[in-house]
Structure 1
Amino acid sequence: MTIPDSSSHDVWRPRVTVACVVTDRDRYLMVEEEINGCMAYNQPAGHLDDFESLQQAAVRETREETGWTVALTHLIGVHQWRSKEHCEVIVRFSFAAKPLHHDPQQPLDVGVRRALWLTRGEIAALGERLRSPMVLMSIDDWLAGQRLPLSVVTSLMPSGDAP
């Protein structure tokens, strides 16, 4: 087996993302955002940054997109999907989280119009306006009781280990 040269620009790389299913009784924290001129709905989600653990990314993205500070409770699952938006493969780590504190003064990420709480039925009714099929899939996995301990996701990079 030949191992590809990691410095080559020909090496295929998926986009690694994180998302949080934040629950408050029967409601879920959602983000309304503008994507390519259209409104879309998603959980708080985004890309993993260099020198960041998956857990740190999930908490950061939730705060940046909603103003909510959350505590992660479980890993719900890892989903792979090819985006219709940019035709790239997304590998998404979906976490469950509980809301701790909301800062209404927190500026939201560019493109995010608002954060809102919706029921599963209201989210399903959004249909094609959902950013991806992973939105409803991760909620349904949560409702089905799919919960893995956070310890299954390990980072070997010391925090603050930036160049």
Structure 2
Amino acid sequence: MSDDHRLSHVEHGPDGRARRARMVDVSSKSPGERSATASALVHFPGDLLERVLHEGGPKGPIEEVARVAGILAAKRTAELIPMCHQLELDHVDVTIERMDTERLEIRCTARCRRATGVEMEALCGASIAALTVYDMTKALDPRIAVERVRLLEKTGGKRGHWRATEP
């Protein structure tokens, strides 16, 4: 396998076989503006979403608690994902939007000026915010589901700007 197709977080032996996990050394990279936006969907069966948005869940209003949980998760990503670099984030924003009668979309955008990207921070923020919504409403119906966590867009770094093409 050529070096440009190898996983960056895997150290290979002289025979080309993967030997062990490693943290990528970014010390020689120049800092630059980086941003990433990720999303997660929370699906509520029937008319449950309407009820939750108007009355709250069994643990109270969901939106602000989930938003704060997402921001905190983005800031602490390196504590959760073993090979992530500890990043000083310049900005994190979590939004929660009703997509239709059964789905909430949670988006997390993270920004920094560093030598490595913030995709994992955005993904962690969106994921934990969605899991917080689930935790705060799970007693209402076991069919509530967190779905489709994904990167929507990123800027900066070697590859520059990237945006998901599918809706």
TM-score class, shorter = under 0.3
Higher Rg of the two aligned structures: 2
Choose between structure 1 and 2: higher helix proportion: 2
Query: TM (normalized to structure 1)?
Result: 0.26
Q: Which has the higher contact order (CA 8 A, sep 6+)?
A: 2
Query: TM (normalized to structure 2)?
Result: 0.25
